[in-house]
Amino acid sequence: MTARKRRSYVNLTLNADLQFRMVAYGLIYMMVAILLTAVGTLAPLIYNMFFGIGLKVQYEAAQAFLAVTKGLMPALLCLLILYAVHLLFVTHRIVGPLMNFTQTFLKLAAGDFTRKVRLRRHDYLQKESEQINTMIDRLTAFLSRLRTDHRQLVTVLEDLITKARDLDTQEKVRSALDILKREAVDMEESLSAFRIPSDAGEDKTNDGQRDVRT
């Protein structure tokens, strides 16, 4: 057994509270289903045991009931144990990715875009992890573009400061400011890809102004 597999089995309960609650709810549902099935299956025997016509019918019903329940109870107990183990593995493959998502989101909130979601082959939520990684890639591309625009803007400003003594005519000043404005517009276009809560308020205000003007 490889170290990775050993680690997987040791860490089977990544979030014990959440996983055990999910297992408990699943077992309760399974026990209710088993109980209803047992009642439906044994109801005729139980009826004949108490209300059957003749002692022979009641005796045979009782013998059949004991025979069925004698083999049924251990089978149901094994079924519940196997189902509990199955739920533990299933929740492990769900909770593990969720914890991975949480760690990645914490990194993003701290401004670190170097971490991506990495799941094991048999983990669930593979599609969701790909979507999160795509989001990180797009955000990284946006930030890279902003950094490039910022460096260009700083370069233009430094160049203008260096050549400030030569800007002796209005035309040269206007030309230099046009260059600076273009760089600022490029940064604004990059930033416009993002939306923040205040943008929604501004949109409503603008809509209201348009309605008033109309």
Confidence of residue 2 (pLDDT cuts 50, 70, 90): very low
Three-state DSSP at 150 gives helix
Tell me the two tokens of residue 188: 């604004």
DSSP code at position 121: T
CA-closest candidate to residue 90, choices 201, 13, 195: 13
**Please, what is the angle between helix 126-162 and helix 55-109, to 10°?**
10
Residue 133, pLDDT score = 93
- pLDDT tens digits for range 119-163: 888 889 899 999 999 999 988 888 888 888 777 777 777 776 666
pTM of the model: 0.61
* Residue scoring higher pLDDT (6 or 54): 54
CA-closest candidate to residue 167, choices 176, 159, 154: 176
